[in-house]
Amino acid sequence: MKKIVFFVQTRKPIGGSQVLFLDFASYISNNYPEYEVYYINFRNPKVEQLYGNSNIKFYDVLSCDYSQFEDAVFFTPVNYVLYLAEKTKNLKNAKVLYYFYHPQIVEWLNMQIYKKKPDFKTFFELLSSHNACCFMDSSNLISAKKIGVDFSETYVPVTLHGDIPAYEPKKIVSNEEINVGWLGRLDHDKIHSVINLADNLAGLDSPKKINIHLVGDGNAKHLIKLSKYSPQIRFVFTSYLYGEERDEYLKTNADFVVSMGISAIDTALLGIPTLVPLVSGEPFREDSFYYLFNTTGYSLGWNAFDAEAMNCKAHTIEQVVSDIYEKNLKQELGEKCRNFAISEFSLENGTKLLLEALEKTTLTVKECNSSFLVASMMRFYRLYRSYRKNCDFERFHEFNARLKRLNLTKGIINKSKRLFKELNRTFIRKEAKK
C-alpha cells in the first residue's frame, strides 16, 4: 500500500493551507483505498475531531517515528524544506513533493537560512529537474520563476471545503451604511491588503459610514491605525469564527467580502460578492480589486507587482460600491462568484491533480538533504544542537532569525562608519584647500 505523508510544523491556529492539506488527506483516505494517509503536525484534538470520520493517521511532529516512512512520499510546503530535512535525515528512498502556496514563500524560506544570498537557483533547479514542485496557482508560479528557474506548469489548486451551502438570495444589509467583510488571517503577509482596502474605502466620496468586519485574527492587527480612519470607518474585530457561526455572521453583516485563498471560496459559496485583493509583505496603495469570477490560473490572490502579468480585469473600490449599492447587483454578482467557485475548485479535481503530481516526483529526501543549501544548514543546526541539545529546528529557526537581524544591524553600522569616514575625508580635503 502506498503511503502519503502530509507534513507541516506550525503552532498557528488552523488556517487555509492546513485546511487544504487536511481536506486532501481526508478525501484520499476515504476514496482511494490503495493509499495510507498520514498527517504530521503538532497534535490538535479539535482538528482530529473535525476529521474524525476520515481514515487519516495523525502523528505528533516531535514524537513521530519517521523510520516507518522509508517508502512514502511527503507533501509539504516548500518553506518547510529544512524542517522536514531534520526529521528525515535517516531516510533513503522516501520521495518528496514541495508546494508553493504563497507568493512570498521563497522569502519565508530565506529567513531560515543564515547566508545573506543563498543559492536558491541551484537548489530549485534540482527540485524542478525531478518534478518535485507544484503550485497553488499561476501567481505562485510567476513569483517562483523570478528565481530564474523554468518550472513546469503543475497546479494543485485550493478546493471547496465541506458541504456546499444552499443558495439564499442576498439583500443589502443597510442602505445607510457600507458593510465590507474581510475573511482571513491578520498576520504580516496579509495585513497590508487590509490596510490598502481601508485606505481606498477612506477615499470614497460618500456620506455613508463604513463598517469593515474583520473575521480573523493575527499578530499584525496592531498595524491598523484605527484613529487614522475614525469616525468615517468603524472596524469590527470578531477574531476567528468557524462553520455556521462564521457563515451566518458574513451573511448578516457583509454586502461584499474581500478575501484570498480558501477563504475566498468559502465566502463565494455563500452567494456573497467576493473580491480578491492584491497582496504584499510591504505597505502599498493600489485601487485594484478582482471579482472572483474574473480570476485566471486558479489564482486567488497575487503580489501587487505581478498584477499586469495576471491579465485579470480589475475594479476600483468605487466601482464595487457602485455595483452593490447603486446598481443593486449584490445578488447577481454573488451568484456569479458562487457558480465560478463550484465549477473551478472541486475537491475531486484538486485531489486528482495532487495525486498526479505525487506520482511524477522522483526526488528523494536523501538527494534533497544532500544538496548544498540543505546540507550546509543542517551542519549549522547540528552545531547549534551541540550547545542546545534538546532544541528542535523550530527553536533553531527563531535563533537564526535573530542572528540575521543582528547581522543586518551590523551591516547598517558598518555602512554608517564608512560614510562617516568618507565625509570626514571630504571635510579635511576642503579645509586643506582653504
Full DSSP string of 3-50 = EEEEE----SPP-HHHHHHHHHHHHHHHH-TTEEEEEEES--HHHHHH
Strand 133-135 to strand 95-100: parallel, antiparallel, or no bridges (unpaired)?
A: parallel
Q: Is the pLDDT of residue 294 over 90?
A: yes
pLDDT, the chain, mean: 90
Q: Quote the pLDDT of residue 118.
A: 82
Question: What is the C-alpha to C-alpha distance for residues 426 and 434, in angstroms, rounded to an integer?
Answer: 13
Share of the chain above pLDDT 70, in %: 92
Q: Are 39 and 21 in contact (CB under 8 A)?
A: yes
Give one DSSP letter per residue of 267-280, joined into a string.
HHHTT--EEEPEE-
Mean pLDDT of 212-226: 96
Share of the chain above pLDDT 90, in %: 70
Q: Which residues, other chains included, contact 267 with Cβ-Cβ below 8 Å and sequence gap of 6+?
A: 181, 183, 250, 257, 259, 274, 337
Strands in 177-183's sheet, in edge-to-edge order, are 233-239, 209-215, 177-183, 256-259, 274-276, 290-291
Q: Quote the pLDDT of residue 424.
A: 52
Cell of 284: 502599498
Per-residue pLDDT band at 420 (split at 50, 70, 90): very low
Q: Is the pLDDT of residue 373 over 80?
A: yes
Q: Quote the pLDDT of residue 433.
A: 59
Per the listing, cell 469593515 goes with 212
Distances (CA, A) of 81 to 7, 74, 105, 129, 254: 10, 11, 11, 17, 39
Tell me the per-residue pLDDT of 231-250, one tens digit each, with 9 for 90 and over: 999 999 999 998 899 999 99
Q: Looking at the DSSP assignment, which residues form a beta bridge with residue 212?
A: 180, 235
Q: Is 389 exposed, middle or buried (0-12, 13-18, 19+ CB in 10 A)?
A: exposed
Q: Is the pLDDT of residue 83 over 60?
A: yes
3-state secondary structure of 412: helix
No. of H helices and E strands in the chain? 17, 14
Tell me the per-residue pLDDT of 115-124, one tens digit each, with 9 for 90 and over: 767 889 999 9
3-state secondary structure of 5: strand
Residues recorded for the chain: 434
Domains of the chain and CATH, by start: 2-159+350-376 (3.40.50), 177-345 (3.40.50.2000)
Question: What is the C-alpha to C-alpha distance for residues 222 and 220, in angstroms, rounded to an integer?
Answer: 5
Q: Quote the pLDDT of residue 422.
A: 58
Q: In 3D, which of 183, 194, 316 has the Cα closest to residue 259?
A: 183
Cell of 222: 496592531
146: amino acid identity, one letter: K
Q: Is the pLDDT of residue 413 over 70?
A: no
94 or 410, greater pLDDT: 94
Q: Quote the pLDDT of residue 186.
A: 96
Q: Is the pLDDT of residue 43 over 70?
A: yes
Q: Quote the pLDDT of residue 412.
A: 43
414 or 343, greater pLDDT: 343
Q: Is the pLDDT of residue 176 over 90?
A: yes
Per mean pLDDT, which range of 44-53, 99-108, 392-401 is the poorest? 392-401
CA quadruple 293, 296, 300, 303: dihedral, nearest 10: -130
Q: Is the pLDDT of residue 163 over 90?
A: no
Q: In 3D, which of 197, 248, 193, 239 has the Cα closest to residue 219?
A: 239
103 or 85, greater pLDDT: 85
Q: Quote the pLDDT of residue 403.
A: 73
Per the listing, cell 537557483 goes with 121
Mean pLDDT of 359-387: 92
Q: Other CB atoms closer than 10 Å to residue 326's CB: what's the count? A: 8
Per-residue pLDDT band at 49 (split at 50, 70, 90): very high
Question: What is the C-alpha to C-alpha distance for residues 76 and 192, in angstroms, rounded to an integer?
Answer: 26
Q: Is the pLDDT of residue 389 over 80?
A: no
Per mean pLDDT, which range of 194-203, 218-227, 306-315, 412-421 is the poorest? 412-421
Q: Quote the pLDDT of residue 384.
A: 84
3-state secondary structure of 41: strand
Q: Is the pLDDT of residue 132 over 90?
A: yes
Give the phi and the psi of residue 379 in degrees, each rounded to 5.
-65, -45
Question: What is the C-alpha to C-alpha distance for residues 198 and 284, in angstroms, rounded to an integer?
Answer: 12
Per-residue pLDDT band at 304 (split at 50, 70, 90): confident
Q: Quote the pLDDT of residue 431.
A: 53
Q: Is the pLDDT of residue 192 over 90?
A: yes
Mean pLDDT of 134-147: 93
Q: Is the pLDDT of residue 37 over 50?
A: yes
Q: Is 114 exposed, middle or buried (0-12, 13-18, 19+ CB in 10 A)?
A: middle
